[in-house]
Amino acid sequence: MESTLFPTTVIGSLPRPAWVLDLILDRKAGRISEEEAEPLLDRAIESSIALQEQARLEEITDGEWRRESYVKVFAERVRGFKADLHDSGMPYPAVVAPLEYHRPLVLHELRFLRARTRRRVKITLPAPYIIGRRMWHADHSRKAYPTREGLMEACVPILRREIEALREAGADTVQLDEPWLSTMVDPAFRRREGIDNPSYEMDRCVDLVNQVLDGFRDLATGMHLCHAHFDRQHGSEGPYGLIMPALQKVRVGTISMEYATPVAGGLDSLAQFPEKVRLGLGCIDHCDPRVETVEDVVKRVEEAMRHLDKSRITLHPDCGFAPSAQNPMDLDEAYRKLKAMCRAARVLREKHG
């Protein structure tokens, strides 16, 4: 993909049609078995693939339509968690026993996608730090892991085993989702979450990503950061100055960041973006119901080019459109936004190629 100028991709999730959301919730509640749900999801995902091909993306995912959420998928597939124990606004699973890899996490998603498209395929996994933050609970988890850090460390070998399987099955890109790193830029968020030593936390977060991705060859690697969102509202806000020193230490191919949303405070922070990494430029604001024009996107990308060479820029929306299945977003709107982005990429290639 690096040989194409301004390649386009998605961050991961697409809004689920209402019947797919019902299917996921029915499966979770046991009203339908996994075996019954899978063939129906297969048919849904064929349309998610077609949508992305029609938008003319260079690299696609399956829309994450088999998952309830981008992070809970880890708890659904790895043994050691109990569902909905944790209530921080939205119910999360909590770890209650030592983790055990007893079946692949997302390999079935990748295999299905790989067999149905000639495009590059991306698969996403949650990073260890966000798993620890979301799914370690002081009341329920201490017996399994006395500390939150213990759970984070235990995720590393599981994720590495999965990535090895994904690589063998033909994944082109593996992306680790780590919104926590960027939500830390917001002082109100740090206070709310009791983070009093952000540089320690940022270093932990980056070190865990490096441990997971260390040594993988024949595979493009990425890390996605964002301000987190639900129902078009961001969970935090602020420019990226605080986290830029930590990003210098990340050993990944591409760092994907939100830059279209006003909450990211503009593109000036790109002056401190690490030199050896590709920039995944968030150039579509998924929270804004207005569909960007081609000119809007071209302008955003050209602004980024003041800080970075054009050969290092990949285009994608700020975040997945629906990181959780319950996130109420519009699928047609997402399609129109992706189409505008891909058209802008073609204009940029003509102008700057």
Binding site for Zn ion (CB under 5 A): 226, 319
Tokens of 10: 């998605």
Q: Which is nearer to Zn ion, 71 or 298 (CB)?
A: 71
CA nearest neighbour of 229 among 89, 63, 338, 332? 89
- With contact defined as beta carbons under 8 Å apart, do 138 and 157 qualify? no
What DSSP assignment string belongs to 109-145? Answer: HHHHHHTT-SSEEEEEEE-HHHHHHHH--TTTSTTT-
CB of residue 252 to Zn ion, shortest distance in Å: 15
Q: Which is nearer to Zn ion, 24 or 319 (CB)?
A: 319
- With contact defined as beta carbons under 8 Å apart, do 282 and 258 qualify? yes
Q: Which is nearer to Zn ion, 12 or 253 (CB)?
A: 12
Q: Residue 114 CA to chain centroid, in angstroms?
A: 19
Q: Which is nearer to Zn ion, 145 or 259 (CB)?
A: 259
CB of residue 226 to Zn ion, shortest distance in Å: 3
- With contact defined as beta carbons under 8 Å apart, do 123 and 61 qualify? yes
Q: Which is nearer to Zn ion, 86 or 234 (CB)?
A: 234
Task: Provide the 8-state DSSP code for 314.
Answer: E
CB of residue 329 to Zn ion, shortest distance in Å: 13
Strands 229-230 and 233-234: antiparallel
CB of residue 293 to Zn ion, shortest distance in Å: 23
CB of residue 225 to Zn ion, shortest distance in Å: 7
Distance separating alpha carbons of residues 48 and 171, to the nearest angstrom:
18
Strands 90-100 and 120-126: unpaired
Distance separating alpha carbons of residues 53 and 34, to the nearest angstrom:
28
CB of residue 81 to Zn ion, shortest distance in Å: 22
CB of residue 232 to Zn ion, shortest distance in Å: 13
Q: Residue 181 CA to chain centroid, in angstroms?
A: 12
Q: Which is nearer to Zn ion, 94 or 319 (CB)?
A: 319
CB of residue 326 to Zn ion, shortest distance in Å: 15
CB of residue 247 to Zn ion, shortest distance in Å: 16
**276 in helix, strand or coil?**
coil
CB of residue 243 to Zn ion, shortest distance in Å: 14
- Please give the span between the terminal C-alpha atoms of the chain, in angstroms, as a whole number: 15
- With contact defined as beta carbons under 8 Å apart, do 144 and 86 qualify? no
Tokens of 6: 């301004």
Q: Which is nearer to Zn ion, 27 or 177 (CB)?
A: 177
Helices (H), ranges, the chain: 18-29, 34-55, 72-77, 107-114, 128-135, 148-168, 179-183, 187-193, 198-213, 244-247, 294-304, 331-352
